[in-house]
Amino acid sequence: MVGLLLSTARRDLDDLGLGVEAHPVDGHLIALVDANWRVVGQAPGAGEALTVEGTVVLGVEKTAEAESSWCGDGDC
């Protein structure tokens, strides 16, 4: 999933019946709009076995375009 927009990764994982948790790794508290975030890490990693819960945890960063278009979070 690394490199995909969160919206695409979530759709693909949902289609497989897997749960998804997105965690910002860039200092933001939450990822509100999936299309504004890019996946930069995942657990389990590619090729690794899933846990019984079947949830994939994605580390995400806000895209540069989204970051520069809105300053309501005070970090621009």
Q: What is the pLDDT of residues 5-34, one digit of tens each?
A: 999 999 999 999 999 999 999 889 999 999
pTM for the structure as a whole: 0.84
What SS3 string covers 18-54?
CEEEEEECCCCCCCCCHHHEEEEEEECCCCCCCCCCC
- Distance, in Å, from the CA atom of 20 to the CA atom of 70, rounded to the nearest integer, reads 26
pLDDT exceeds 80 at position 61: yes
The better pLDDT of the pair 69, 57 is held by: 57
Question: Contact 13/55 with Cβ under 8 angstroms?
Answer: no
Return the structure tokens found at 19: 């749960």
Q: What is the DSSP letter of 5?
A: B
Query: Band of the pLDDT at 68, cuts 50, 70, 90?
Result: confident
